[in-house]
Amino acid sequence: MLKALLRFLVLFVILLIGFFYFDQPVKENEPLKGPTKTVPNTTAPQLSGDVQQRPKTGWSTYVGKDISTFEKKMGQPIRKGPSAYGFTWWVYGDENQYMLVGVEKDKINQVYVTGTRVDFAPFKMGQTLDELYRTTITDMEVNIKIQQNIYTMVLSEEDLQSRLLIMYNGVLAQLYFDSATKKLMAVRYIDGKTLVKQKPYDMTYVGEVIETKKPSSFEQEKINQENAQQLFELSNVYREINDLPALGKDGKLSEVTSTQLKGLVMERLAKSDAPDTDLQSLLKENDVDFEETAENIAEDYADAADAISGILNSEKHRQDLLNVTYNHLGTASFENNFAQIFIEQKPESDSK
């Protein structure tokens, strides 16, 4: 009798644990931290005279040119939006071919490309990390000289698996890999000054840091809206690359996402020990119906393109981004912080 009771208690505990871990409708991951810091250096690094020749074809050739040359090839963008770094984003494409073009004073400072049908020349979509290491010179430290200042981008071991940085004559290439599959997902061609402004890697410097003028509160709100829209679009691009259906947009869900993100950032700035806002309660208060939900927070990322790469390459956050169960997505941005809230929402006919 006692043995039977013990067996029952053990089975009950196992079932209880299984229910707790695997049958929760709300999943809130720990915030994903951006991997960057900037520190001065007292010793100037030795600059190498060996620089790879800039590709003669492909999107990198547009960096530094007038935006009119790009317009002649691609036409008008689907929209233009502000960035946090003083330039304007020109946004092109859809889930199959997505492009972000940075434009400052009519000059292109960067071109970011991703999608299943985009030309990555001289690289290839889906190219493996091993293939790239065999054909391209890469370094853990990349030095950029601007006037009398020297900036050194220091790549971590994680960067070497997911965000390579290659210096060419007159332009740099950021190669974004999926560290799980080791395949190339996106490429950003960017000039040195803009890369230093955005600080996407650990950086040391000799001289002066290039600072960006702080936007007004009105300007920052517009920047937040643009970043949130880019994060939404990039989320669906990355799902398309992985043969998953696109997520629908929900206005109320996006409002909840924005409220949640701002609350978390304010608590962090205030160094508050108060408990985080309960996501399930927040969704119900705003009449957002859901069967299951999950939340991703990415803190201290340069922009939406960097944030989506960080999310993809964090195991827990990746599971939500590439989860086939969810069908709606809310996104938000607050300064250099980003948020996604995923929900599974049954069709109205099913819920009646």
For the segment 281-300, what is each residue's pLDDT rounded down to a tens digit? 899 999 999 999 999 999 99
C-beta of residue 351 within 8 angstroms of C-beta of residue 279: no
Residue 221's SS3 state is helix
Q: What domains can you pick out in the chain, each with its CATH number?
A: 38-206 (3.40.33.10), 216-351 (3.40.33.10)
Q: Is the pLDDT of residue 330 over 70?
A: yes
Estimate to the nearest angstrom the gap between the alpha carbon of 83 and the chain centroid: 14
At residue 274, the pLDDT reads: 52
pLDDT at 275 over 70: no
**In terms of Cα–Cα distance, which of 104, 107, 99 is closest to 87?**
104
The pLDDT of residue 202 is: 94
For 51-55, 62-66, 308-312, 345-349, which range has the lowest pLDDT when averaged over its residues?
345-349
Reported confidence tier of residue 222, pLDDT bands at 50, 70, 90: very high
Q: Can you give the C-alpha Rg of the chain in angstroms? A: 22
pLDDT of residue 79: 98
Q: Out of 18-32, 306-320, 322-336, which region has the weakest mean confidence (pLDDT)?
A: 18-32
Any idea of the CA torsion for 295, 301, 307, 313, to the nearest 10 degrees?
A: -90
Res. 346 pLDDT band, cuts 50 70 90: confident
Q: Is residue 349 over pLDDT 70?
A: no
Percent of the chain with pLDDT over 70: 87
Chain-centroid distance of CA 284 in Å reads 28
| Average pLDDT rounded to a whole number, residues 168-188 | 97
Q: CA-CA distance, 159 to 306, in Å (whole number)?
A: 12
Strand partners, 144: 151
Alpha helices in the chain (DSSP H): 2-22, 67-74, 129-135, 159-162, 192-198, 217-241, 251-269, 279-285, 304-312, 315-321, 348-351
Name the DSSP letter for residue 91.
Answer: E
- Binned at pLDDT 50, 70 and 90, residue 4 comes out as low
Tell me which residue of 65, 47, 302, 89 sits closest to 191, measured CA to CA.
65
pLDDT of the residue at 111: 98
pLDDT at site 179:
94
Residues 6+ apart with CB under 8 A from 163: 155, 174, 175, 176, 177, 200, 201, 306, 309
- Quote the pLDDT of residue 3: 57
Phi, psi dihedral angles at 174 (to 5 degrees): -100, 125
- For 92-113, the pLDDT digits (tens) are 998 899 999 999 999 999 999 9
Which stretch, 32-46, 214-228, 266-280, has highest mean pLDDT?
A: 214-228
User: Which phi and psi (to 5°) does residue 112 adopt?
Assistant: -110, 130
Say how many C-beta atoms besides its own lie within 10 A of residue 295's C-beta: 24
Contact (CB, 8 A) for 44 and 206:
yes
Rounded mean pLDDT of the chain? 89
Res 273 pLDDT > 70: no
Instruction: Write out pLDDT tens, residues 11-58.
Output: 554 444 444 444 457 677 788 877 667 777 757 676 766 678 899 999
Q: What is the DSSP string of 61-81?
A: GGTTSBHHHHHHHH-S-SEEE
pLDDT at 304 (0 to 100) = 98
Task: Identify whether the C-beta of residue 122 lies closer than 8 Å to the C-beta of residue 55.
Answer: yes
What's the pLDDT at 7? Answer: 61
| Residue type present at position 276 | D
Close Cβ partners of 201 (under 8 Å, ≥ 6 residues apart): 35, 36, 153, 154, 155, 156, 159, 163, 165
Tell me which residue of 180, 211, 335 sits closest to 264, measured CA to CA. 335
pLDDT tier at 333, thresholds 50, 70, 90:
very high
